[in-house]
Amino acid sequence: MRIGWAPVYPNGLAKSDQLGFYAREFTTVEINSTFYRVPDERMVEGWIRKTPADFLFSIKAYQGLTHERKNPDFAQFARAMRPLVESGKLGCVLAQFPNSFHASIPNREFLRGLRNG
C-alpha cells in the first residue's frame, strides 16, 4: 500500500508515465512544483504532450512572486507559462500569499503588476 496520491497509480508505473495515466482519469490537475521553481520550457511542453487537448492545468505561482516580492520577475513566469496559454491548457494561476500580505495600496499595486505580468 502506498501513501498519499500514490494509490492512484498502479504499482510499477514509471514516474514519467504518471501524468499521462492521471490524465486518462481526470480532466484537470494543480501543479504545486511551480511554487518552488519556475519550470523550464521542456518541462511545460512535456505536460502538454502527455495530456489530452481538453486537459487543464492550475498552476501555483512561484514563491518569488508571492512571498519574496523583491524585484519580482513577472515576465520570466509568464514566459514559462506561455506554452500552456497557447495550447489552451492553462486553467488558472493560483497566487497564494502569506498571512503578512495585507490589504494596502502598495499590495494592490503589486497585484496589478502580477496580473499584467
Please give the chain's pLDDT, 117 residues, in tens: 444 555 778 888 898 999 999 999 999 999 999 999 999 989 999 999 999 999 999 999 999 888 887 777 888 888 999 999 999 999 999 999 999 899 999 889 888 877 776
Listed residue (12, 53, 60, 10) closest to 39, CA to CA: 60
User: CA-to-CA distance for 41 and 81, rounded, in angstroms?
Assistant: 8
Is residue 48 in some structural domain?
A: yes
Whole-prediction pTM: 0.83
Count of domains forming the chain = 1
Is residue 1 in some structural domain?
A: no
Is residue 62 in some structural domain?
A: yes
The three cell numbers of residue 53 are: 487537448
CATH code, 63: 3.20.20.410
Is residue 39 in some structural domain?
A: yes
Q: Which single residue is written with the C-alpha cell 518541462?
A: 43
pLDDT in tens, 2-21: 445 557 788 888 989 999 99
Domain boundaries, position 57:
6-116
The three cell numbers of residue 73 are: 520577475
